[in-house]
Structure 1
Amino acid sequence: MISGHASDLATMIGESERQRAEVAQILASLSTGQAHWRPSEQKWSLLGHVAHMCLVNESYTQEIDACIAKARERGRLSKGPYKHGWFGRWFTRSMEPPPKRRWVTGKAMVPDPGLDGSEVGSRFEYVQGELDRLMGDARGVDLGRARFSSPFVRVLRLSLGTGFSVLLAHNRRHIWLIREVLAGDLFPVAEEGA
C-alpha cells in the first residue's frame, strides 16, 4: 500500500510495529545454530535476512530524514490525496511476498555471515524505531511531491510515500523468506537446552 492520505501513516506505523514484533519473536525462538544455518552457500541465514533488512532500512532512513526536512523547508505540505508515479507503484508491488523475481543484491546490502544474534535483533529494533519516528515526522508533508534518491541507485527517485511503502514491503518479503527457511525440511531441529 502506498499512502494516499496522511491518515495512512498510522496504518504504516502499525505495520512496522507488527514486523518488529514478528522478527523479535522469530529470533527469540532460535538456537545459535539455527540462527546461523544457511540452506546453501548462496543463501543467507535467518540472521542474514534480518541484517540485510537493517542495512537497507538504515540507509533509506538517512535519505528519508533529509527529504522530510527539505520538504518542510520548501513548503511541500499536504494531507493528501497524494500522487505516486507508476514506477513507484510497480516497485512496491515487486517487493511484496511471495517473491516473483530475484533481485541482485549490491555489495553494500550483503550481510556479514558471522553476525551476533542479539546485536542483529537490537539493530533491527532500533532501525525500525527510526522508521516509525520518520513516518510520524512525515505527517503533513506531501508524500507524493517530496522525493529522494535511493541510497543504492542514485538515479532512482522515489516519493516519500513510495519509500515508506517499499521498505515495509521489502521487510514483508524477507520475513516471508525467513518463514520459508523455517518451514523447510532441512532446517535443523533445536538442540536440547539450546
Structure 2
Amino acid sequence: MSKIDKIQLIECLENEVEKHLQKVIHIFQNLNETTLLQIPDNGSWSIAQCFEHLNSYGCYYLPQIKNALNKNTEHSLTNVFKGSWLGSYFTRMMLPSNTKKYKAFKNHIPSANLNAHQVLATFIEQQETLLSYLKQARTIDLDKIRVPISIAKWVRLKLGDVFQFMIAHDERHIQQAERVLTGIKNFEKI
C-alpha cells in the first residue's frame, strides 16, 4: 500500500461529501413522492430505495465511527495514511468505475414502501454527520483506529479505509439514482 498525505485525503473526501450533499439538495430533494418512489422498468431500485440503502450503511457505520473517534482522543504524530489491502479492495469494488453489479446484503435491501422525503432528509443528516467526523479525523491516526465492518463484525478496517469505502459507495448509488431519474424523464418525454 502506498502512503497518502492524511490531510489531502480528508480534504478530498470532504469535497466528495459536499458534492453529494449538493446533488441531493439540488437534484433530488424537491422531486415529488411519485418520482422518488417510481421503480424503473428494469426492476432496479427507485431513487428513494437507492438512498435508503445508503442510509442503512450510515445507520451502521456512523455510530461505529463515532465510538472509535471517542475512544481515540490521542493526537496523531503522523500525517500519512497507509490503507490496508482489504480496505482498498472494498473501496475499489464500490467505485462507480467498477461496473460489476453486486447483490445487496439482506439487512441492506431497502423496502419499496418508504417515506421518500424522510429518506432524503436522513441521508442529508448522515452526510452532515460524516463531514463532522472527517473534520474530527484530521487530528487522529487513520491507520490506528479500526472499525468493524457491517457484513462481518470480526473484520475491522482502518478508519481511513472505512471513510473511503463509504464515500465511494455513496457515489455509486447517487449515480444510480441519477440514472433512474434520467430514465423517468426520458419516459415522460415519450
Q: Structure 1 length normalisation: TM-score? A: 0.85
Partner of 1:144: 143
Task: State the shift of 1:42 in Å.
Answer: 4.5
Instruction: Evaluate the alpha carbon distance shift between residue 5 and residue 53 of structure 1 in structure 2; reply closer, same or farther with a 3 A threshold.
Output: same
1:46 and 2:22 aligned: no
Partner of 1:94: 93
Letter of the 2:136 partner, please give it. Answer: D
Higher mean Cα deviation, 135-144 or 22-31?
22-31
Aligned with 1:97: secondary structure?
A: coil
Name whichever structure is richer in helix by fraction: 2
8 Å contact from structure 1 (residues 98, 176) kept in 2: no
C-alpha distance in 2 between matches for 1:173 and 1:112: 19
Number of residue pairs aligned between Structure 1 and Structure 2? 187
C-alpha distance in 1 between matches for 2:11 and 2:171: 17
C-alpha distance in 2 between matches for 1:79 and 1:25: 38
C-alpha distance in 2 between matches for 1:3 and 1:134: 19
Higher mean Cα deviation, 53-62 or 20-29?
20-29
Matches within 5 A, 1:1-150: 4-28=5-29, 30-40=31-41, 42-72=43-73, 75=74, 77-150=76-149
8 Å contact from structure 2 (residues 40, 184) kept in 1: no
8 Å contact from structure 1 (residues 4, 80) kept in 2: yes
8 Å contact from structure 1 (residues 34, 187) kept in 2: no
C-alpha distance in 2 between matches for 1:91 and 1:78: 27
8 Å contact from structure 1 (residues 95, 170) kept in 2: yes
Letter of the 2:162 partner, please give it. Answer: G
8 Å contact from structure 1 (residues 76, 145) kept in 2: no
Partner of 1:162: 161
8 Å contact from structure 2 (residues 7, 138) kept in 1: yes
Task: State the shift of 1:98 in Å.
Answer: 3.6
Structure 2 unaligned segments of length 5 or more: list them. none
Structure 1 vs Structure 2: percent identity of aligned residues? 24
1:180 and 2:183 aligned: no
Q: CA RMSD in A?
A: 2.3
**What are the superposed Cα offsets for residues 1-36 of structure 1, whole Å, 9 maximum, x if unpaired?**
x96313432332221111011022222353322211
C-alpha distance in 2 between matches for 1:119 and 1:126: 10
